[in-house]
Structure 1
Amino acid sequence: MTDNTPLTPRPLHRLADGSPPVMTAAELRRHGVPPAAAHERCRPGGPWQMPLPGVFVLHNGPLTGAETLHAVLRYTGGPQGQAVISGLAALDLHGFTGAPPPAALDRVDVLVPRVRRLRSVGCVRIVRTHRLPEPVPRHGFPVAPVPRALVDAVGRLPDEATVHRLLAEAVRGGHCEPHEILRELARARLPGRPHLTVAVDALVAEGRALAEQRLLTVVHEGGLPVPCWNVGLWLPGGPFLCNVDAYWPERAVAVDIDARAPRQRGGSPDRAETTRRHQTLTGLGVTVVRLTPRGLVDSPGAQADAVRAALRAAGRAPRAGSVVVLPR
Structure 2
Amino acid sequence: MTDFHPSCPAPVGLVRPVRVDPDGDSGPRRGTAAGPSWRTSSHGLVVPAHVPQTVEQRILEAAVRLPEGGVVTGWAALRLAGAAYYDGLAGRTPRPVPVLLPHTSRIRGPGVLVERTRGRLPEPVVRHGVPCTPGDLALLHELSRATSTRAAGVMVDMALAAGVVDLEGVRQVAAVRRLPAAAAYALERACAECRSPRESEMLQVWESDVGFPRPLMNRQVLDLSGRVIAVVDLLEPESGTYGEYNGASHRSRERQRRDEARADALRGVGLEGFVLVAGDSERVWRERMSSARGRALWLREDQRRWRLGAFVPAPPLPDEDEEAFEALMLEHYRSLE
State the TM bucket, normalised to the shorter chain. Answer: 0.3 to 0.5
Which one has the bigger helix percentage? 1
Give me the TM-score of the superposition, normalised by structure 1: 0.46
Q: Which has the higher contact order (CA 8 A, sep 6+)?
A: 2
Determine which structure has more spread, i.e. the larger CA radius of gyration. Answer: 1
TM-score (norm 2): 0.45
